[in-house]
């Protein structure tokens, strides 16, 4: 069986592997580097996990053009959520420290005790630890990298959707 580099199933598989590695890195940063994720970080991680799951399902059902298209759109939607959460955190990190944030408990406590509706409201406003910059690679913070990655995942998802429409 000859594998074409840009075949529908191959791209879904590559997206699955990339997002799986990114999710693995987020757990590595949390448990090995001891970086405590804030609430927006958790939502970005969940967006990555959902994207990973959808890309795996899309890989499995890639012979069906309409299921591939459906999951491509779901992946694009999840990417948009990731872009929203990452851009919100980037914005919070670039605010002056003098503005201050409301003093809220850490993300782990919020996720265990607060109802879902209130968690969504807190995610929009951000918690006090969302604006902290404690990791950089080449001068770029983790939320900024996350934003770039989610934009690339969105573009790949839309490209897959467009390609699925042509190949039906």
Residue 107 within a domain: yes
Residue 52 within a domain: yes
Range of the domain at 153: 8-167
pLDDT for residue 151 is more than 90: yes
Render pLDDT for 80-137 as a digit per residue (tens, 0 to 9).
988 988 888 777 777 766 555 554 566 667 667 777 777 666 666 655 566 566 765 6
Q: How many domains does the chain have?
A: 1
**Separation CA 156–CA 10 (nearest Å):** 12
Residue 45's pLDDT is: 85
* CB contact burial 71-107 (16+ within 10 A = b; e otherwise): bbbbbbbbbbbbbbbbbbbbebbeeeeeeebeebeeb
Residue 1 within a domain: no
CATH label of the domain that carries residue 62:
1.20.1550.10
Residue 39 within a domain: yes
Residue 85 within a domain: yes
Report how far apart, in Å, the C-alpha atoms of 74 and of each of 9, 67, 69, 116, 139 are. 16, 10, 9, 22, 32
Residue 3 within a domain: no
**Separation CA 2–CA 79 (nearest Å):** 31
SS3 content of the chain, % helix, strand, coil (to 5): 75, 0, 25
**Separation CA 39–CA 31 (nearest Å):** 16
Residue 2 within a domain: no
Give the list of residues 6+ apart from residue 28 with CB closer than 8 angstroms, or none.
Answer: none
- Confirm if 67 and 58 have CB atoms less than 8 A apart: yes
pLDDT above 70: percentage of residues in the chain? 70
> Which H or E run contains 136?
strand 136-137
């Amino acid at each position: 069986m000859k594998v074409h580099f840009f075949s529908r199933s191959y791209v879904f598989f590559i997206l699955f592997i990339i997002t799986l590695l990114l999710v693995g890195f987020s757990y590595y940063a949390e448990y090995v580097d001891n970086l405590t994720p804030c609430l927006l970080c958790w939502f970005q991680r969940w967006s990555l996990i959902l994207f990973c799951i959808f890309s795996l399902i899309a890989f499995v059902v890639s012979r069906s053009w309409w299921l591939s298209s459906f999951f491509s759109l779901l992946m694009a939607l999840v990417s948009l959520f990731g872009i929203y959460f990452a851009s919100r955190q980037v914005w919070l990190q670039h605010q002056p420290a003098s503005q201050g944030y409301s003093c809220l408990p850490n993300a782990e406590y919020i996720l265990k005790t607060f109802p879902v509706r209130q968690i969504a409201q807190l995610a929009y406003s951000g918690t006090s630890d969302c604006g902290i910059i404690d990791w950089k690679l080449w001068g770029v913070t983790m939320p900024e990298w996350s934003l770039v990655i989610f934009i690339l995942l969105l573009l790949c998802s839309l490209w897959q959707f467009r390609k699925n429409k042509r190949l039906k």
